[in-house]
Structure 1
Amino acid sequence: MSIEVATPRDLLARAYLDMLAAEAGTNSSPLLRSGDPDDPIERLIDDLWTAPESAERTSIRADLAAAAILVARAIERSDGLTRDLRRECPVISLATHGAEVVSPVRRVLTTCAFGNDAKVLDDRAFDGAHYTRPVLLLARDGTSNEHRPEKGNAIISEALHARAPIFGLAPDPRRHLPRDLLRAAEHHLSLGQLDASAIALVIEAVTGRSPSTVPDEQLARAVDISDLTLSVRADRNADDCIKLLEKIVSTKSFFDHRGPRLEELAGYGAAREWGLNLVADLREYRAGRLDWECLEKGLLLAGPPGVGKTQFARALAKSADVPLVASSVADWNAATYLSGTLAAIKECFSRARQLAPCILFIDELDGISDRATLTTEYKEYWTQIVNLLLELLAGIEERPGVIVIGATNHPDHIDAAVKRAGRLDRTIEIELPNSENLAAIFRFHLGQDVLPAVNLMPAALAAAGRTGADVEAWVRRAKSRARRAIREIALDDVLHEIRSGREGMPEILRRACSVHEGGHLVVGIALAVFEPQALTILDHGATTRVELSRANSQTRAGIENYMVALLSGRAAEEMILGTSQATAGSGVGDNSDFSRATQAAIDMELRFGFGVIGVAHFSERTTEMLLHDPSIVALITKRLDRCLTRARELVSANRAAVEAVAKRLEEVGYLDRIAIGDLLKAHPVRTVESPDRSGGATGFE
């Protein structure tokens, strides 16, 4: 990209650069080439100067040059302000990018803005009676407890009475500068961001030559003043400075798109769908075919540790090809004072707006207290933090290009206002990955060239209930184990790490679990109780994942069919393995088959009006008392026995199907809906008329 000749708005910036160079004692020709470099701004004000071609350039420090250019541009945006700073007594506030910019900006203003006859003083030294033209310059970076609105108001009154120009600068003027300064201010300025032309002018001021190319605009938006200090030096030529700057900036985390794209990630459910829709919308927005108002701009990701909330944000940014600004509440709270925490929050959002379009990811959002639960001791502290966050989140609509994603392990701990419409108004929970997704996650971390022909479902089944972060750790340790043994990695290495050296399920128990789940599956289908989703054998047991039918779930027959399906696992074990080989797996725990079937029988007898007692509903306490009556217990056990008998009859009638399912499940450990369908095509189930099937997911053990 070619560099254009400086536009008129850069005349003030070049004048500032000349004055800083003169202060530093450089001897080379000024950037303005005015012929009278003693006070180039006066020549600008009086319209006596015209810009000839520059020759030899002055050299000043890169960060100071950048500050001079940005301050000059901020002042130029207000007509007549350059003159008023030297001739009148304006009151001005200036918002900087962050605390680190305050010091160079103060130096630029002191040297350049007020004229040779001005005496620039801070609030500790100001005395309007002892100087011909005093100037009050308040520079507050927000790191001191004194940098608050209630501090310094008396000196503002004194400066106004002395007809002194008043200039206040701070990262957040409303929170750091005296309240009266802001109330009296005629100009509220903000420091702009560095762009390609400003970077080129910094390089020209430092090296004496303009670069032949500049960074592209997206990269330029990510440049900090500190980056210029590292890359732009007087002993380098201009183009070398550009190359070094590009190298430094390109390594920033905003542009770190290593890792998978969202399209490559397994699982994530509704979050993945939301993200892919956002990728498409951002593409249309950047092309100018979709208004910002049409995009979803806020999301709260919830889920236990290790499910991949941070990885989701990285993958989303990579798929959308936009920068990722990642932060956390812990980072914000690392500041020593409240003012530092507030500055860190504001800097985070400011950086996101600078890089827009981009994604702003805030982790550990539950670390910000809910105002409804605050105690008196910490209420003021956290209320200020929450209020600032709400203010910045509300600005999403007003500042196009920033998508905010918050992450939390505890969504119920988030302040309700954060989740209000227009902020993070969509909550999606990332659940633990299922077996299919775990197998895909294992494949991703192993790579396509490692164990390419090996079925990873055994590893996924052994890892049931764990997270993608666990998978990554297991694969890393398994590779290390194989490397120490000086051999290629094997599936057993992965299983060894998952099980921490424990043995898997014994074969005899694996056979019993397979038969048990086969019984659930076949009887449930025969009675139209559910639609099967998957059968799984895990290290600790087995499960049948289904979608329960809601069509007849509230009728006497529907509830009894549900009980029959629950008891069919035990029935299958007895019918196929023999009574002596039947296991207790059906009846262990409050969520076991027997427990749920027994509770359903109790409800039918004492609460649903389907029992011998008739239409009656007893409270929980009364039910507990009635269960001490042997006659009531007899009614319940009689109903359970009748359901178990029916389960045995259905297993017997569909024995071939049960055994086929059990054999295949025992071999592979996992059957999805397609595999189940293929098996039952070869071994049809004798069914009753099937009602409409729609309902919530559940599991049979």
Structure 2
Amino acid sequence: MQFPTNASAGSILLAAMDQASDRLARAFLQQLVHEERKRLKIGQRSNSYAYEDEVALDNDAVEQIVAQDEADRPETAHVPIPADLAAVAVMLARAVAAETGLVRRLRREAPVVSLATNVSDLVEPVRIVAEKCLFQPQAKIVDLAVGRAGRELTRRHAALFVCDGIGSEARPDKGNEAIRAALHVRIPIVGIAPDPMRQLPRDLTRSSEHRIALTNLDQAGLALVIEAVVGGTPSRKIDPDLLRMIDIADLPVAFRRTGTPDACIEALERIVAAKAEFLGDGPPLEVLDGYGEAKIWGLAAAADLQAYRAGRLGWEEIDHRGLLLSGPPGVGKTSFAKALAKSARVPLVVTSVAEWNASSYLSGTLQAIRKVFARARSQAPCILFIDELDGISDRAQIHGDYVQYWTQIVNLFLELLAGVDERPGVVVVAATNHPQRIDPAVKRAGRLDREIEVGKPDTTALASIFRHHLGGEILANIPTLPLALAARGMTGADVEAFVRRAKGTARRAGREVSMDDLLDEIRQGRRSLPSSVRRRVAIHEAGHAIVAHALQFGEVAHLSMYDDGGEACLEFVTDGGATLPRVEAALSCILAGRIAEEIEFGAGSIGSGNGPTSDLAKATQLARDIELRFGLGHLGNIHLEPTAGELITIPGLLPAMRDRLYRAGELARRIITDHRLALQAIARELDENGYLSRQEIEAALSGITSVSDAGMAECKLHLVEEQ
């Protein structure tokens, strides 16, 4: 195949750059091998001298064998390098090689370089490699961050300024005197820190001619590390998804007991896969229920991340970059993040504000925040999940001695959150139980600019959650709907606990889990409704459904029966365009449950008016609003806010409300009376099953004729004539 001229030139240039970086990486590794040989020889001599002080070497035959073996070992035998140092050497060599002429300048001139390690854990190994590899062999290397070395420098020195970013000295206003002294002598200076601009002396970063950062290990880099550790290169590559998740700390653990290159790859895959949340046993987002709008957002984000990984979509084109999940405890906010990562097939980086604040010092907290964002950048594309976000205070609510402390934390978090272009591929999902406590700046455009509340799961979602936790073997052919109905108002975390405790009960009894085990855990001694009351509740809820359908007032999503009552879930939208007939239809729907009881049993129950959220309370409030807020009552165009005693002090208000409620109730009565057989059939099915879905309700109501606004007006005229 013939490539275009410019593409061929680009490929050749990239190949040349790769060869140059690998050449320098091999040179760094060779230098570390040389240093390791010297260390081993010195160690052997010092150990022998120390041993001779205690016991004569001639008296220990085993030691003589070991000493002879070491003496006979050829110089060409492979000397392993510590895996973490080897990895850092490769990463540092590639960062230096990417800057044209930098390696020569470090050996021949006096450049000023700032090096970002991104995480504090790499600062010390980078210092070791820098001391051994960056400068001329005869150079005297000093750390300007330690002592008063800046006043004793000569042209024979090379200077480091090493800062792990944790201590109180990690500030741009510290260490500048030593830097100025080194600049005056004109020696090479290399500053090493996780975040040089915030942690190195200001004079160093201002004078830096080269700003470099450690690169991630790629397949070729990992092969170099393995070769340095075990003396050979692997015959296969590691999974690219796992490669992005490797931490330097994983390498010594993985390579500790391996003797061949391929064994290194296998051990590394096991260790990294064990910590990969997205490769776990949890379900993907596609099969989870109860997340509503959050699930829609998550599936879109997962699709975008997959397209981004495949190169079909640029980061600047992705609009699902940040999400704030709010909701009560136990609704599955953490499970959502895990499922999202699994659906997107990307790593999940998990942290929390409590984890950030575990440090005793402000600098430690700030470094923890930087570290987790750096970790997410190194594993991108990925999901960064931040739990307990309300732990970062709203700056407007901070007072007293801690204003400066918390302000720095909030400002750093906002800065890292806003830098979406500096963290390509990192989708941030944060969770909170108290969204009102979060600084408004966190929710601004470009940060966590989408907030979705995750409520407690409905009946259908609870049934699915029960099935997930029960698996495919426990109660496999038994529907979980009765469990969901009994667990109304519970969360996914509650369901997990119910199932776990029921399994424990069955295990101790030496039998399989039964439905009664689960219901006992859910109810905790709570009794279900008596059959007579349950029948009344079923009639009540069926009445709501029939009138809502006849008056075309929204849609009935479902009818449910619970241990303590029932529910008719009506989906409707009331906006500024609603007219009086629509509002009166709402009144009839609200009163329909009590009217159905009166028709079927001869009297209504007190349940319709039991509490401020009861049917009668809602209907009374709506009738009052018609008269005093909506301008649709006998007082005409008027709007009054609620005041104490208004039902008594405003002439004619109470009779007007009573008449309106009466007419709405009578309209419901006529509809239910005309369709009493349907009422009884729906109630009977609801009583038996405990739940009717939208489709089942629509099928049962298919024979009921809808009442138009004109029909409602005619009906109301007949009612007035009857009165």
Is the structural similarity TM-score above 0.5? yes
Equivalent residue in structure 1 for 2:90, among 69, 90, 97: 69
Q: Which residue of 1 aligns with 2:654?
A: 633
- Structure 1 residue runs of 5 or longer lacking an equivalent are 30-53, 693-701
**Conserved in 2, the CA contact under 8 Å of 1:129 and 1:162?**
no
Task: Give the match for residue 617 of structure 2.
Answer: 595
- Kept in 1, the 8 Å contact 2:597–2:605? The answer is yes
Query: Structure 1: which amino acid aligns with 2:441?
Result: A
Please state if 1:542 is matched with 2:566: yes
Query: 1:378 deviation in Å?
Result: 2.6
- Which sits farther off after the overlay, 168-177 or 628-637? 628-637
User: What is the SS of the residue equivalent to 2:401?
Assistant: coil
Deviations 1:54-78 (A, max 9, x none): 9743322222222222222222222
Contact kept? 1:207, 1:234, Cα under 8 Å: no
In structure 2, what is the Cα distance between the partners aligned to 1:284 and 1:241? 31
Q: Which amino acid aligns with 2:19?
A: T
Instruction: Name 2:63's counterpart in structure 1.
Output: none
Q: Which residue of 2 aligns with 1:48?
A: none
1:656 matches 2:677: yes
Bigger drift between 129-138 and 60-69 goes to: 129-138
Matched, 1:13 2:25: yes
Give the number of equivalent residue pairs. Answer: 660
Q: Pick the aligned partner of 2:35 from 9, 16, 23.
A: 23
Q: Secondary structure at the match of 1:620?
A: coil
After superposition, the C-alpha distances for 1:577-600 in whole angstroms (9 at most, x for unaligned) are 122xx3111001112111122223
Deviations 1:100-157 (A, max 9, x none): 2111211222223222332222231415546552233211111211121111111111
Residues 18-64 of structure 1: CA deviation (Å, up to 9, x unaligned): 333333335999xxxxxxxxxxxxxxxxxxxxxxxx97433222222
Distance apart, 1:376 and its partner CA: 4.9
Moved >6 Å (runs of 4+): none
Checking the alignment, whether the CA contact within 8 Å between 1:206 and 1:234 is kept in structure 2 is no
Cα pair 2:150 2:178 within 8 Å, conserved? no
Q: Which moved more, 1:543-552 or 1:73-82?
A: 543-552
- Say if 2:549 and 2:701, in contact at 8 Å, map to a contact too: no
The match for 2:595 is 571
Deviation digits for residues 162-181 of structure 1 (CA, Å, limit 9, x no counterpart): 22322210111122111111
Larger helix proportion, structure 1 or 2?
2
Q: CA deviation at 1:630?
A: 8.7
Partner of 1:249: 272
Question: Offset at 1:498?
Answer: 1.0
Distance in 1 of aligned mates of 2:153 and 2:655: 104
Tell me if structure 2 keeps the 8 A contact 1:128–1:164.
Answer: no
> Displacement, 1:320?
1.9
1:609-638 C-alpha deviation (Å, 9 max, x unpaired): 5555555444433x7245257965344334
CA distance in 1, matches of 2:227, 2:576: 80
Aligned partners of 1:202, 1:552: CA distance in 2, in Å?
68
1:102 paired with 2:126, answer no
- Report if aligned partners of 2:119, 2:375 keep a CA contact under 8 Å in 1: no
CA contact (8 A) 1:94 1:170 kept: yes
- Equivalent in the alignment of 1:179: 202
CA–CA separation in structure 2 for the residues paired with 1:19 and 1:553: 79
Q: TM-score, normalised by structure 2?
A: 0.85
Map 1:222-621 to 2 at 5 A: 222-233=245-256, 236-295=259-318, 296-548=320-572, 554-579=578-603, 582-621=604-643
What are the equivalent positions in structure 2 for 1:14-163 lying under 5 Å apart?
Answer: 14-26=26-38, 56-123=77-144, 124-129=147-152, 131=154, 133-163=156-186
In structure 2, distance between residues paired with 1:592 and 1:418: 38
- State the Cα distance separating 1:436 from its structure 2 match: 0.9
Whether the 8 Å contact between 1:563 and 1:643 is mirrored in structure 2 is: yes
Quote how far apart the aligned CAs of 1:265 are: 1.0
CA distance in 1, matches of 2:327, 2:710: 35
Q: What is the CA–CA distance in structure 2 between the aligned matches of 1:163 and 1:365, rounded to whole Å?
A: 48
SS at match of 2:325: strand
Q: Which residue of 1 aligns with 2:60?
A: none
Gaps of 5+ in 2: 1-14, 42-74, 712-723
Cα deviation digits, residues 341-373 of structure 1 (max 9, x gap)? 222222222222222222222222222222233
Is this contact kept in 2: 1:604–1:611, CA < 8 A? Answer: yes
CA RMSD of aligned residues (A): 2.8
Secondary structure in 2 aligned to 1:259? coil
Give the aligned residue type for 1:207. V
**Distance in 1 separating the partners of 2:150 and 2:639:** 86
Cα-to-partner distance string for 1:461-503 (whole Å, 9 max, x where unaligned)? 1111111111111111112222222222221211111111221
Deviates more, 1:248-257 or 1:588-597: 248-257
**Cα distance, 1:638–1:255 mapped onto 2, change above 3 Å:** closer
Q: Which moved more, 1:6-15 or 1:433-442?
A: 6-15
- Relative to 1, partners in 2 of residues 1:614 and 1:291: Cα closer, same or farther, differing over 3 Å? closer
Shift of 1:304: 1.7
Q: Contact 1:551–1:691 (CA<8 Å) still a contact in 2?
A: no
In structure 2, how many angstroms separate the alpha carbons of the residues matched to 1:613 and 1:83? 91
Q: Distance in 2 between matches of 1:121 and 1:27?
A: 20
Q: Distance in 2 between matches of 1:252 and 1:366?
A: 27
Q: What is the Cα deviation at residue 239 of structure 1? A: 2.7
Partner amino acid, structure 1, of 2:187:
A
| Alpha-carbon distance change, 228 to 546 in structure 1, aligned in 2, over 3 angstroms | same
Which of 665, 688, 701 is residue 707 of structure 2 equivalent to? 688
Q: Which moved more, 1:145-154 or 1:557-566?
A: 557-566
CA distance in 1, matches of 2:321, 2:641: 48
